[in-house]
């Protein structure tokens, strides 16, 4: 005798949102955090309406909030509430947060990390590889402000570090080429990894 059956499999996705203070940056009125939270909300709604399970994790230096994956309407409302009320904290520790979360998400699924990825590339990549080692599919979405990418500043200005670095007066014209070179190197290191 041969017994055959069809099993319907649903996707289990966990949305991982960076809530460190660097996500507060906004040159055009919408902060990176608002943009990223909106993208996560849209993904959560799309996945839930497809009858897939969605989880949510908010992190800065560590995991601040974790909602395991589920596919119900009340669960979606709770995820959306957490996204709408997400607040930033002063420090980033992407690698450590990802390792912690990889140990919490037991069942294999899709991990979507939404961040500006302003941390050490080696630490970030180790955290992402931890998910890959546990056989998750990982998608990394980098959210950047146009000013971070183009560095359009021309006049002398005082920069304030969003993660407790203090203030620094600079002459942008003398710094622009070095900034852009380091920024591109950082992004390239993440892409290669």
Q: What is the pLDDT of residues 65-113, one digit of tens each?
A: 999 999 999 999 999 999 999 999 888 899 999 999 999 998 999 999 9
The closest alpha carbon to 28, from 149, 114, 112, 119, belongs to: 149
Give pLDDT, residue 8: 55
Give pLDDT, residue 6: 55
Record the pTM. Answer: 0.90
Q: How far apart are CA 170 and CA 55, in angstroms?
A: 42
The closest alpha carbon to 32, from 142, 187, 145, 140, belongs to: 145
Name residues of the chain where pLDDT drops below 70: 5-9
Give pLDDT, residue 74: 96
């Amino acid at each position: 005798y041969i017994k055959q059956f069809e099993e319907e499999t649903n996707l289990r996705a966990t949305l991982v949102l960076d809530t460190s203070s660097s996500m507060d940056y906004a040159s055009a009125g919408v902060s990176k955090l608002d943009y990223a939270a909106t993208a996560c909300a849209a993904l959560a709604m799309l996945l839930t309406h497809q009858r897939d399970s969605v989880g949510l994790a908010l992190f800065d230096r560590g995991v601040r909030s974790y909602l395991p994956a589920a596919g119900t309407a009340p669960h979606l409302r709770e995820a959306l509430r957490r996204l709408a009320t997400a607040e930033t904290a002063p420090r980033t520790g992407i690698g450590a947060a990802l390792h912690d979360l990889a140990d919490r998400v037991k069942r294999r699924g899709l991990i979507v990390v939404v961040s500006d990825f302003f941390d050490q590339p080696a630490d970030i990549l180790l955290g992402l590889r931890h998910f890959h080692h546990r056989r998750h599919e990982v998608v990394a979405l980098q959210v950047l402000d146009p000013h971070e990418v183009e560095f359009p500043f021309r006049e002398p200005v005082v920069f304030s570090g969003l993660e407790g670095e203090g203030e620094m007066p600079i002459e942008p014209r003398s710094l622009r080429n070095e900034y852009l070179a380091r920024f591109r190197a950082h992004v390239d290191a993440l892409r290669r990894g």
